Amino acid sequence: MRFLFISILYVSFSPLSSAQQVGYDIRSTYQRPVLKENIASAKSLLDINPGHPSSWIEKYISVQVSTTTDGVTSVSEGTTEILNEKQKSLLQNAVIGTEVRFSIKYYPKNYGHAKDFKEIKYGLTLVPKFEAQFPGGEQARIQYLKENAIDKIPVDQFNKIELASITFIVDKDGRVSDIQMGDSSGNKEIDKILHEAIQNMPTWIPAKSRNGKTVEQEFELNVGSMIGC
């Protein structure tokens, strides 16, 4: 099972002149993360989303909560911001990697006509307590990418690099797998350099849940010229 984060893990630049500067980063690739223990203990929408606009809402039409795990979706509906027993059970039984989505239809204050309802939609992903780590930490990861990717790119190609992206999985054993080229750099040789740098990475410390269970995590490598940024 995969789960993703949205936080950028690091951003660094090659030690070149400003005319030849290339940026590179590795980041996780999903929307709003939430710890399982936080969502499992939730009793209301405010517990899940502190920014939930209760003060805007005159009356709820429906509050739909859905969870998707390994392609299987379960749905439960309520009519208030307080979660009912079925909704709480759905969240309590969700596992790491589950995508949780909320669809909230309501009448805003001073809504006037019944047809003028509004809708809020957002999604979360249950993530582990401890994310995957490159052996030696962040600086070791930066140095590895510099030596095995950035330094191998011909200097005269830096200004021509388009923003390239590659996704990969750090599996339950910390091994890198499922490497996929997203956006090409525009140069097949550079794409090959980037792919090999990911493929030859050492074993990571895998992500873990609160109870110590190891789980998969997906990352994305981005490389491109920073000129004009």
Tens digits of per-residue pLDDT, 90-110?
Answer: 999 998 778 999 999 999 887
Residues 69 and 141 placed together within one structural domain of the fold: no
Please give the share of the chain, as a percent, with pLDDT higher than 90. Answer: 48
pTM for this prediction: 0.64
**What is the tally of structural domains in the chain?**
2
Residues 108-136 have a mean pLDDT of 84
The pLDDT of residue 72 is 93
Query: pLDDT-derived band of residue 147, with 50, 70 and 90 as boundaries?
Result: very high
User: For residue 164, is it within any domain?
Assistant: yes
Residues 108 and 188 placed together within one structural domain of the fold: no
Q: Which of 222, 226, 225 is nearest to 9 (CA)?
A: 222
User: For residue 1, is it within any domain?
Assistant: no
User: For residue 56, is it within any domain?
Assistant: yes
Looking at the DSSP assignment, which residues form a beta bridge with residue 217?
Answer: 170
Residues 101 and 214 placed together within one structural domain of the fold: no
pLDDT at residue 16 is higher than 50? no
**For 24, phi and psi rounded to 5 degrees?**
-150, 140
Domain carrying residue 205: 8-30+130-225
For the chain, the straight-line distance linking the first and the last C-alpha, in angstroms and rounded, comes to 36
CB 84 within 8 A of CB 62: no
Tokens at 97, concatenated: 């990697």
The pLDDT of residue 218 is 84
Query: pLDDT-derived band of residue 117, with 50, 70 and 90 as boundaries?
Result: confident
Q: How many CB atoms lie within 10 A of CB 145?
A: 24
Residues 26 and 38 placed together within one structural domain of the fold: no
Residues 89 and 146 placed together within one structural domain of the fold: no
Counting beta carbons within 10 angstroms of the beta carbon of residue 139, is it exposed (0 to 12), middle (13 to 18) or buried (19 or more)? exposed
Residues 16 and 90 placed together within one structural domain of the fold: no
pLDDT at residue 220 is higher than 80? yes
